[in-house]
Amino acid sequence: MAVSSNRRAACLLNGAFERHERKENYSKSRGLILIESFSYKEIQDFIMSVPLEGVEPFTLLLLEYPKEIITSFNELRWDGKKKHSKLLDPNTPQIWSSVTLYEREVIQWRKKLFESWIKKNPSIEDRWMMDFHATKYGIPQSEDILMKRDDSLMTLSISQIHVSKEATRFNYSDLITQKYHSLLLK
């Protein structure tokens, strides 16, 4: 996740639509693509122009908020061969799960769980969203929102970018030390 001084935010997830075979070498890191997105004047220019040949598949969420409201919310998926872009409704709560970590059925289950949670909590606040991600929901830990697997792979932290009239904040919850940090960005 990253935020730029020109009031944009981006979040990168590994993989596009399905788990892919990792290559030994890639021409450019996906993380550099995220940072590069901030150098374009318009998000659509970035999506159309950025060369992605030789880059590992990813999903990139791009927000633009020149004032206190989000004016552009885009999803860019690169499947290793083709860009897939769509404009999203910034007022509709959504959830993503990394396709490199979860099977399709588990991703659908997590989405249904989120939609059910949203119905029960229609007025979303930062702390509630953090709580959603820090809760165990009674399914195997290897697939739960707060995930822990036998191979030591687990959810270590929860990060959040909050945009409001007053400011942009980066909220971070370290699940190991159980410390919460909130940083005023602007």
Tens of pLDDT, residues 63-81: 988 876 778 899 999 999 9
The label of the residue with tokens 């919310």 reads: 73
pTM of the predicted model, to two decimals? 0.90
Say whether pLDDT at 56 is over 90: yes
Helices (H), the chain: 30-37, 43-49, 104-120, 126-133
* Phi/psi at 123 (5° precision): -100, 90
pLDDT over threshold 70, residue 113: yes
Q: What is residue 90's DSSP assignment?
A: T
- Contact predicate 107/99, CB 8 Å: yes
Pairwise CA distance, residues 93 & 84, whole Å: 20
Cα four-point dihedral sign 141, 142, 145, 148: positive
**pLDDT of amino acid 128:** 84
